[in-house]
Amino acid sequence: MLFLIKVRLGKEKVLWLRWDDQKKLSEIEDLVDRLKNEDSAILVEGSNDEKSLRELGIDNEIIRVSETPKSLFKIAEYISQRWDKAIILTDWDSHGEKLSSKLHEVLQNCGVAPNDIYRRKFKFMLLKDIKDVESLSNLIENMKATEFSNQSY
């Protein structure tokens, strides 16, 4: 039997979860756990993205690339002095796509190996649900709450 559950993600956003979303939740949590164990900086767009990752227990160095007067080249230079690789975790909207592409290029030019695997996996799994990193912790929290309420029946 398939159940549909309505979850509110704010004033206007509604998310419908299926009973089999438990598997999806498990895959998302596995990806977050792998991200926690990476030995590299994580590049995000802004402070809300960083806050969401912190709420998920990620304590890597997080660098906000859109809320700084520094150029992307200066940011890449800074990273190259501390890291051999960097994880690009920009949003999966059109702005995030362009920014990811620019970061990929500038990091490579500074000798840093860009990693956008996490971004691509989150995008693939969550494109229908959310479009940005800042919504990630709320989505997981709501999915867990729904999973818990389903188990009590």
pLDDT of residue 152: 45
Closest CA to 24 of 125, 98, 112: 125
- Identify the helix (H) or strand (E) that includes residue 115: strand 113-115
* pLDDT tens sequence across 99-118: 999 999 999 999 999 999 99
pTM: 0.82
Domains of the chain: 39-137 (3.40.1360.10)
Closest CA to 22 of 149, 110, 142, 143: 143
* Arithmetic mean of pLDDT over the chain: 87
CA distance 135 to 77: 29
* Contact yes or no for 2/114 (Cβ under 8 A): no
* pLDDT tens sequence across 66-103: 988 899 999 999 999 999 999 999 999 999 999 999 99
